[in-house]
């Protein structure tokens, strides 16, 4: 249970009155109701828990490849203490070294005021102008959880305390002209306390929106969600009271039990139109034992084929990227669609080689 009402903090009340209109400016509904926006989280959420340190050049290459594959929102890194997340230590080098496409967004995770201060210092040294490239980023993400137990394990504070800490961070980011997106972890099941109370998920989501987040991503961090539990959770969060429009809610599903794609489609059927995913199914959570990676971007794109929904991203190129980054990390590609499409390619290549060899043999026989 949460320790006290989430909106009781003076910081939250202040953020509610100063930031709501700014956040709502970003929370606009796309004209096409069947368009599904994908937030590619591979370069941050997908890589942050890898044991071996990945050079910044590899991360830059990954983001540039995702750019070329048509992804327009790519989570690029995190301004967090390298003591806690060594993998994100070079985010400043990554976001200044990568190619920035006008109109695309490259959010970075900012857990606290120090992280935001470091980011703002970096941005001040890269002023934007009509003749210069886009800034390293124009968006941050902040995160909390739906249970005190998970929040304490992750950030050493309760949910209410985390929200109180985040409120001034969000306010300052908005004043600096940055977009702010929120994350809520363990919205279905908590590894420490079991099944989560969906009213708590709604309360936390509401608090993040009120402090100024233009969108809140609901994370099935453990990956234990099913279409039934996802439906119940989403319906509770965007209930009939109309306080939380479905347009400002996103889905973030891990594939521990192989239900992530089904959960994505359940979320879409309920009106959600933004889905977080990671190329190659990258990811995991150190505070959630046994949890596997995010739903693979390739699997999401493939599952939308021949449906009423459509999205961005070149599937063939995403398959190539998933194979490439998995090889670089020395791990198995977790994308089912990616592995199947690669197998088809290999089979076609072998068939062509056999045809070519057979043709040459016939040609030689004819000449003889």
- Catalytic residue numbers, as ranges: 285
The pTM of the full predicted model, rounded to 2 decimals, is: 0.88
Residue 104 lies in a domain: yes
Q: What is the CATH number of the domain that holds 282?
A: 3.20.20.70
Give residue 288's pLDDT. 56
- How sure is the predictor about 6, in pLDDT bands with cuts at 50, 70 and 90? very low
Number of domains in the chain: 1
Residue 31 lies in a domain: yes
- How sure is the predictor about 10, in pLDDT bands with cuts at 50, 70 and 90? very low
Residue 327 lies in a domain: no
Say if CB 14 and CB 167 are below 8 A apart.
Answer: yes
pLDDT digits (tens, 9 = 90+) for 243-283: 899 999 999 999 999 999 999 999 999 999 999 999 999 98
Average pLDDT score, the chain: 88
pLDDT digits (tens, 9 = 90+) for 11-26: 444 445 444 554 544 5
Residue 111 lies in a domain: yes
Higher pLDDT, 241 or 246: 246
Q: Which of 103, 81, 199, 102 is nearest to 146 (CA)?
A: 199
Helix H or strand E encompassing 108: strand 108-109
Range in 9-18, 136-145, 213-222 the model is least confident about: 9-18
Q: Which of 284, 366, 315, 10 is nearest to 171 (CA)?
A: 10
pLDDT digits (tens, 9 = 90+) for 152-202: 998 999 999 999 999 999 999 999 999 999 999 999 999 999 999 999 999
Q: The domain containing residue 285 runs over which residues?
A: 6-314
Give residue 289's pLDDT. 58
Residue 356 lies in a domain: no
Give residue 5's pLDDT. 41
Count CB neighbours of 245 within 10 A: 13
Count CB neighbours of 94 within 10 A: 23
Residue 119 lies in a domain: yes
Helix H or strand E encompassing 65: helix 56-68
pLDDT greater than 70 at residue 229: yes
């Amino acid at each position: 249970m949460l320790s006290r009402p989430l909106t009781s903090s003076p910081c939250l009340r202040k953020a509610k009155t100063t930031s709501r209109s700014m956040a709502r400016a970003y929370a606009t509904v796309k004209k096409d109701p069947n368009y599904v926006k994908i937030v590619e989280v591979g370069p941050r959420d997908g890589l942050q828990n890898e044991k071996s340190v990945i050079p910044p050049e590899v991360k830059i290459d990954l983001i540039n490849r995702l750019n070329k594959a048509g992804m327009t929102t790519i989570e690029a890194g995190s301004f967090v203490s390298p003591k806690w997340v060594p993998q994100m230590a070079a985010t400043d080098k990554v976001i200044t070294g990568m190619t920035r496409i006008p109109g695309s967004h490259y959010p970075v995770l900012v857990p606290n005021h120090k992280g935001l201060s470091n980011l703002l210092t970096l941005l001040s040294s890269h002023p934007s102008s009509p003749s210069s490239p886009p800034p390293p980023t124009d968006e941050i993400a902040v995160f909390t959880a739906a249970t005190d137990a998970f929040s304490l394990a992750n950030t050493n504070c309760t949910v209410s305390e985390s929200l109180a800490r985040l409120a001034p961070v969000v306010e300052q980011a908005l004043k600096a002209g940055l977009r702010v997106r929120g994350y809520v972890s363990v919205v279905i099941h908590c590894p420490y306390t079991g099944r989560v109370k969906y009213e708590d998920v709604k309360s936390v989501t509401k608090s993040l929106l009120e402090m100024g987040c233009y969108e809140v991503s609901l994370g099935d961090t453990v990956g234990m969600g099913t279409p039934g539990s996802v439906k119940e959770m989403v319906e509770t969060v965007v209930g009939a009271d109309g306080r939380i429009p479905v347009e400002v809610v996103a889905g973030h599903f891990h594939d521990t039990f192989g239900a992530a794609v089904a959960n994505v489609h359940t979320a879409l059927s309920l009106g959600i139109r933004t889905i977080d995913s990671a190329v190659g199914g990258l990811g995991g959570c150190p505070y959630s034992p046994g949890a596997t990676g995010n739903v693979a971007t390739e699997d999401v794109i493939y599952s939308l084929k021949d449906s009423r929904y459509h999205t961005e991203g070149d599937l063939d190129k995403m398959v190539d990227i998933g194979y490439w980054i998995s090889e670089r990390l020395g791990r198995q590609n977790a994308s089912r669609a990616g592995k199947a499409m690669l197998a088809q390619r290999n089979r076609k290549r072998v068939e062509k080689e056999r045809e070519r060899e057979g043709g040459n043999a016939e040609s030689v026989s004819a000449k003889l």
